[in-house]
Amino acid sequence: MAAPLSVEVEFGGGAELLFDGVKKHQVTLPGQEEPWDIRNLLVWIKKNLLKERPELFIQGDSVRPGILVLINDADWELLGELDYQLQDQDTILFISTLHGG
């Protein structure tokens, strides 16, 4: 049983437009059976934060190609991508590099 986590989720490069234009979201993830990883976080974001056109942000179980993910200012590719286990107070930043955001 994983304890509830408090993390900061940020959007940039135009990705924030899908979230009502809000860039920073301080969120509390509820406790659940399995530990929180990025894969779960994306599902949670889709359910709770994403306001419109989910296909422009999430494709399959990952982010849309062209959206970069930074975990505590480091490339998520260094940290195991979808399998990275979230820690309390982590900052997850999504930057869209797509044309037009």
Site for another protein, rule CB under 8 A: 12-14, 17-18, 52-53, 55-56, 65-66, 68, 70, 73-75, 77-80, 93, 95, 97-101
Q: What is the distance between the alpha carbons of residues 33 and 23, in angstroms, rounded to a whole number?
A: 29
Q: Is residue 57 within 8 Å of residue 50, measured between CB atoms?
A: yes
Residue linked to tokens 């044309």: 99
Token couple for 35: 């530990």
Element (H, E) at 74: strand 74-75
- 32/50 with CB nearer another protein: 50
- 31/83 with CB nearer another protein: 83
Instruction: Give the nearest distance from C-beta 29 to another protein in angstroms.
Output: 23
- 2/79 with CB nearer another protein: 79
Q: What is the distance between the alpha carbons of residues 53 and 32, in angstroms, rounded to a whole number?
A: 27
Instruction: Give the nearest distance from C-beta 76 to another protein in angstroms.
Output: 9
Instruction: Give the nearest distance from C-beta 30 to another protein in angstroms.
Output: 28
